[in-house]
A and B are shown apart, each in its own frame.
Chain A
Amino acid sequence: MNLKSFFSSLLPSFERSRIVEDIELIRKEVVEVLLPAFKTALATMAGKTWAHNEANAFNSTFIAALPQFRQVGFLGGAQRIFADLPAKLDAIDKMVIEIFAKDVTKDTITYRKAAILQYLDTVRFAAKYTGRMLLRLTALETAALNKSEFSEPLSPAETSWLAANQSAYLQVMKLLAQHPKDLAALLEEIPDIAVVPDRVDLVKQTVGLDKIDPLKLNFLPPTFNPIYGLRLMYTEYQVKRYEEQVEEKRLLELRLLAMKEAHSGKQDARLAQQIEYTEGRLQRLSYKIAEMEKHAA
Chain B
Amino acid sequence: MLNMTAAKAAGVAALQFVLGVAKGVLRSNSVKTDSLVRFTRATRVEPIALVDQRLVHLPYMGDVMQTMSSIFIGYYLQAVSLAVNVGRINVIRLLDSLNPHRDVADASAAFLTDSLAGKAPKFLSTESYMFGLPSLESLETDLERDLFAEAAARKKQQDEKNMKDTLQNIAGSKVGKFVQSQGQGDVGEEVNPNGIRGGVSNKSDLQKLVTEATNLSVGKLIEVTIEDGDKKATFPIMVRVISTIVNGPTLVHILSDQSRWYATAKERFHMWRAGQLEFVRDLVLCQDLIDEHRRALLNDKSGAYKEILERRAGNAVASAMTGTPSVATASNIVVLSKQSAKEIEQVTGGRFTDVKFRNRLFDRSYVMLMAVIDPEWEQITIYHRGIALPTEMMLKELKATNKGTGPDISEILKAYQLGQSPSNL
Contact = CB atoms under 8 A, between A and B. Distances in A.
A256 to B, nearest CB: 19
Given A155-B379, A281-B397, A283-B394, 5 more contacts: A156-B378, A157-B376, A283-B396, A284-B379, A284-B393
Interface string B396-423: 1101100000000000000000000000
A280 B376 CA distance: 14
B375 interface: yes
B400 A280 contact: yes
B87 to A, nearest CB: 45
Interface string A275-297: 01101110110110010000000
A290 B377 contact: yes
A280 B424 CA distance: 12
A287 B400 contact: no
B26 to A, nearest CB: 50
B377 A155 contact: yes
Contact of A284 (B375, B376, B397, B399): B397
A284 B397 CA distance: 9
A280 B397 contact: yes
A279 to B, nearest CB: 6
Interface string B373-398: 01111110000000000001110110
A156 B375 contact: yes
A203 B113 CA distance: 82
A287 B396 contact: no
A224 B335 CA distance: 32
Interface residues of B, number: 13
Q: What 5 pairs between A and B have smallest CB-CB spacing?
A: A280-B397, A280-B396, A157-B376, A287-B377, A155-B378
Nearest to A279: B396
Residue picked from A155, A273, A286, most chain B C-beta under 10 Å: A155
Contacts of A156: 375-378
Which bracket fits the contact residues of A?
10 to 19
A273 B378 contact: no
Interface of A: 155-157, 273, 276-277, 279-281, 283-284, 286-287, 290
A286 B396 CA distance: 13
A287 B376 CA distance: 10
Nearest to A276: B400
Given A277-B400, A280-B400, A155 B393 contact: no
A278 to B, nearest CB: 10
Contact of A155 (B376, B392, B399, B400): B376
A60 B397 CA distance: 34
A283 B378 contact: yes
B377 A283 contact: yes
B394 A284 contact: yes
B394 A280 contact: yes
Contacts of B400: 273, 276-277, 280
11 contacts: A155-B376, A155-B377, A155-B379, A156-B375, A273-B400, A280-B396, A283-B396, A284-B392, A284-B394, A287-B377, A290-B377
Contacts of A290: 377
Contacts of A277: 397, 400
Contacts of B397: 277, 280-281, 284
Contacts of B374: 287
Residue picked from B375, B379, B400, most chain A C-beta under 10 Å: B379
A281 B392 CA distance: 12
Contacts of B392: 284
A277 B396 CA distance: 8
B248 to A, nearest CB: 18
A280 B392 CA distance: 12
A128 B393 CA distance: 23
A267 B292 CA distance: 59
Nearest to A159: B376
B225 to A, nearest CB: 35
A220 to B, nearest CB: 24
Contacts of A284: 379, 392-394, 397
Interface in B343-399: 374-379, 392-394, 396-397, 399
Nearest to B400: A276
Residue picked from B375, B393, B394, B399, most chain A C-beta under 10 Å: B394
A156 B374 CA distance: 10
A9 B152 CA distance: 86
A142 to B, nearest CB: 17
A290 B394 CA distance: 14
A157 B377 contact: yes
A232 B375 CA distance: 29
A290 B396 CA distance: 17
Contacts of B376: 155-157
A281 B394 CA distance: 8
A156 B379 CA distance: 11
A155 B394 CA distance: 10
A163 to B, nearest CB: 14
Residue picked from B378, B392, B397, B399, most chain A C-beta under 10 Å: B378
B234 to A, nearest CB: 35
B269 to A, nearest CB: 34
A281 B396 CA distance: 9
Contacts of A279: 396
Contacts of A283: 377-379, 394, 396
